[in-house]
């Protein structure tokens, strides 16, 4: 099982939610922020499941599934010196595991682009034709 650092303190979760970026997929919400005061070689990860999802057994299942997905892909996809928080959604417990994995991978890639400062907008040159005559 891969080893990575975990977020455990409430202030880290709040700092990530307040000052970081957020990406929502069908089954997971991913929040992330770059660490400035702590320089580590590894990224840190935390998990959140709320009572809104269901009873304790459902929340525990969601947390186990999030940890399993993170064990498979987090070490390869995560940026160094970043904190990530995975928030379970209402269907995290019941969605197909392959779909959960693809949601995680797509979400991490999107949030890494945001952390790196890249945007989706592409600048076009001003000489685009308006009609076929131009």
The CATH number of the domain covering residues in 5-116: 3.30.230.10
C-alpha distance across the termini of the chain, in Å: 61
DSSP secondary-structure letter at 120? S
Instruction: Please tell me the least confidently modeled range out of 4-18, 25-39, 78-92, 118-132.
Output: 118-132
Query: Which structure tokens are listed for 75?
Result: 């070490």
pLDDT band at 71 (very low <50, low <70, confident <90, very high): very high
Does the predicted TM-score (pTM) go above 0.75?
Answer: yes
pLDDT band at 119 (very low <50, low <70, confident <90, very high): low
pLDDT in tens, 10-67: 999 999 999 999 999 999 999 999 987 766 678 899 999 999 999 999 999 999 999 9
């Amino acid at each position: 099982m891969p080893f990575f650092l975990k977020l455990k303190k409430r202030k880290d979760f709040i700092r990530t939610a307040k000052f970081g970026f957020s990406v929502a997929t069908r089954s997971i919400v991913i929040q992330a922020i770059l660490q400035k005061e702590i320089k580590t070689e590894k990224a840190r990860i935390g998990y959140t499941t709320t009572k809104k999802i269901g009873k304790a057994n459902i929340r525990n299942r969601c947390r186990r599934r999030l940890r399993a997905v993170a064990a498979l892909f987090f070490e390869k996809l995560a940026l160094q010196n970043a904190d990530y928080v995975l928030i379970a959604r209402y269907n995290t417990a019941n969605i197909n595991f392959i779909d959960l994995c693809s949601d995680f991978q797509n979400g991490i890639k999107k949030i890494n682009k945001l952390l790196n400062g890249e945007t989706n907008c592409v600048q076009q040159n001003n000489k685009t034709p308006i009609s076929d005559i131009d």
